[in-house]
Amino acid sequence: MANISERIAEVQYRIEQACLRAGRLREEVQVIAVTKYVDAEITKQVLDAGCFHIGESRVQQAVPKWNQLGDKGIWHFIGHLQRNKAKEIVGRFEYLHALESLQLAAELDKRCANLDSKIKCFIQVNVSGEKTKFGISPVELNDFARSMANFSHIELAGLMTMAPNTPNREEVRPVFRELRRLQKELQRQHIAVPHLSMGMSQDFEIAIEEGATFVRLGSILVGTSS
């Protein structure tokens, strides 16, 4: 297993190449190191190696880690969040990547108001339509995005999707392309959705070619099997 700095360097190189292919600037793409597989010790190594965006997906593991390392990075909650856990995330995590219900939005908004803080949220869109995936359907997106204006403590960061888990990497491209199209559609209506959170270890280069501004990378950076 290569050490973390070597892995980061390799990923940086692949991101640069994908940006070149797509005619994009390297600065447009940010890496979120997904540390849900590893303990606080390894998470600290990731931070020390210069990856400041940290992604976690389970409240029980994320909160103790944040309590140790919170001030060292920018924290993204990338998993499905239950409403009764929203209070744990607010005030700790700057970003939430999987907003898909107005009830959760209302709860986050209320909790943020109590702390006089804000949270940046991505709307998760189930572009592929798989029943096993979370996220709102593309046809609901317009109304959903508009209703974000009702929550003064939520800042709409952008859209997020997960591609199908398939060995055929090109099957994922249309999913990423569709999320970008949905972003443009909202932008035409003057709804600000600056970011696209898409692409994981298996498919981040395709996501970058299709416009990702945040890629969420776990196993390629901290997994044991690559």
Binding site for ligand PLP (CB under 6 A): 34, 36, 57, 78-79, 200-202, 216-220
Q: Please, what is the minimum distance in Å from the beta carbon of residue 200 to ligand PLP?
A: 4
- B/e letters for 152-190, b = 16+ CB within 10 Å, e = fewer, are ebbbbbbbbbbbeeeeeeeebeebbbbbbebbeebeeee
Amino acid of residue 172: V
Q: Please, what is the minimum distance in Å from the beta carbon of residue 205 to ligand PLP?
A: 12
3 state SS of 123: strand
Residue number, 141 or 217, with CB nearest to ligand PLP: 217
Residue number, 161 or 183, with CB nearest to ligand PLP: 161
Return left, alpha or beta for 198; rule: phi > 0 is left, psi -120 to 50 is alpha, else beta: beta
Q: Which two tokens stand for residue 172?
A: 């994922």
Going by C-alpha positions, the residue among 107, 123, 106 that lies closest to residue 191 is 123
Residue number, 124 or 153, with CB nearest to ligand PLP: 124
Q: Please, what is the minimum distance in Å from the beta carbon of residue 29 to ligand PLP?
A: 15
d(CA 85, CA 107): 10
Alpha-carbon dihedral angle through residues 65, 78, 4, 204, given to the nearest 10 degrees: 180
Q: Please, what is the minimum distance in Å from the beta carbon of residue 190 to ligand PLP?
A: 29
Q: Please, what is the minimum distance in Å from the beta carbon of residue 79 to ligand PLP?
A: 6
Q: Please, what is the minimum distance in Å from the beta carbon of residue 58 to ligand PLP?
A: 9
d(CA 54, CA 37): 12
Residue number, 31 or 186, with CB nearest to ligand PLP: 31
Residue number, 52 or 191, with CB nearest to ligand PLP: 52
Query: Residue of minimal CB distance from ligand PLP?
Result: 218
Residue number, 101 or 202, with CB nearest to ligand PLP: 202
Q: Which two tokens stand for residue 86?
A: 């929203």
